[in-house]
Amino acid sequence: MRIATWNVNSLRVRLGHLLDWLKMARPDVVCLQEIKMQTEDFPFDAIGEAGYEAAVYGQKTYNGVAILSKLPIEEVVQGFAGEEGQSRLIEAVIEGVHVISAYCPNGESPRSDKFQYKKRFYAALRAHLDGLGKSSLPLAICGDFNIAPQAQDVWDPKEAAKQCGFHPDELAWLAHLTAWGLHDSLRLVDDKGGQYSWWDYRTGGFRKNQGMRIDQVWVSDGLKNKVKKAWIDTEPRGWDKPSDHTPVLAEIAM
């Protein structure tokens, strides 16, 4: 199963990119974040013509997540206890694998109230996994975590540690989440640093490759030994009018 995650930063604007990319990359499952539309506005027809079912949890203006799949989607659950009114999580079962698309809060700055929301969200996400069971469960949680796991995942770790995305507090929240029994799929197969999934529009970060690896595919203990490949596809970030994020993929033996 080839599983991908992509924060598209508005599906209305990025539908063309998504359809082009689905043809090129041929993922079986795609977790989307920041679709920024209500569920009823989701382009079910275009996605269906591309060969994918869709489970969607939208919201007006902000946030919004979805799971696309070539394989049948079962047991869809929209949302969880930690969202506080924002559409940030959808889960489903596909070929016996529990798949979660998550859009974790940005946090704005360590002094912001939104930073405390991010903390609560992470604690609730861990509690949610505990509620699902033990990490022997075959599970992949994919999305924009808005935290880079390691210093090698950040172009300027010293500066980033003072802001959102690589702050020491955030690393502790992420560590607590993944202590449930999650593994960063890229790091199971590749220890190379300097690989990013997001580059800031404002600083022209992509041209300078000044980015952060804040999007990940995490797999449970139950899937750890089945990860055959994991990579970041930087190509769509170079297209005209791109999302600020690029797709991240993992190949899981079934």
Quote the crossing angle between the two packed helices 168-178 and 113-132, to the nearest 10°.
10
Token pair listed for 214: 């804040």
Q: 91 vs 215, which CB is nearer to DNA?
A: 215
CA distance 124 to 47: 31
Binding-site residue total for DNA (CB under 7 A)? 17
**Cβ-based burial of 119 (10 A; exposed 0-12, middle 13-18, buried ≥19):** middle
Residues 170-199 that bind DNA (CB under 7 A): none
Indicate whether 238 belongs to the interface with DNA (CB under 7 A): no
Q: Is 60 in the site for DNA (CB under 7 A)?
A: yes
For DNA, the binding residue among 114, 120, 226, 229 (CB under 7 A) is 114
- Find where tokens 């930690």 sit: 82
Q: Tell which one of 111, 192, 202, 207 touches DNA (CB under 7 A).
A: 202
Nearer to DNA, 158 or 192 (CB): 158
Please tell me whether residue 111 binds DNA under the rule CB under 7 A.
no
Tell me: does residue 224 bind DNA (CB under 7 A).
no
Using CB under 7 A, which of 1, 4, 5, 9 touches DNA? 9
CB of 153 to DNA, least distance (A): 17
> Which CB sits closer to DNA, 192 or 202?
202
Q: How far apart are CA 99 and CA 97, in angstroms?
A: 6
Q: Is 228 in the site for DNA (CB under 7 A)?
A: no
Catalytic residues: 103, 144
Candidates 104-112, 168-176, 187-195, 228-236: pick the segment binding DNA (CB under 7 A): 104-112
3-class SS of residue 157: helix
Q: Where are the beta strands (DSSP E) in the chain?
A: 2-7, 29-33, 53-57, 65-69, 73-78, 89-94, 97-103, 139-144, 182-184, 198-199, 211-212, 215-220, 227-232, 248-252
Q: Measure Cα distances from 54 to 33, 70, 155, 167, 174 in Å.
A: 13, 9, 35, 34, 28
Does 61 contact DNA by CB under 7 A?
Answer: yes
The site for DNA (CB under 7 A) is made up of 9-10, 12-13, 36, 60-62, 105-106, 108, 114, 201-204, 241
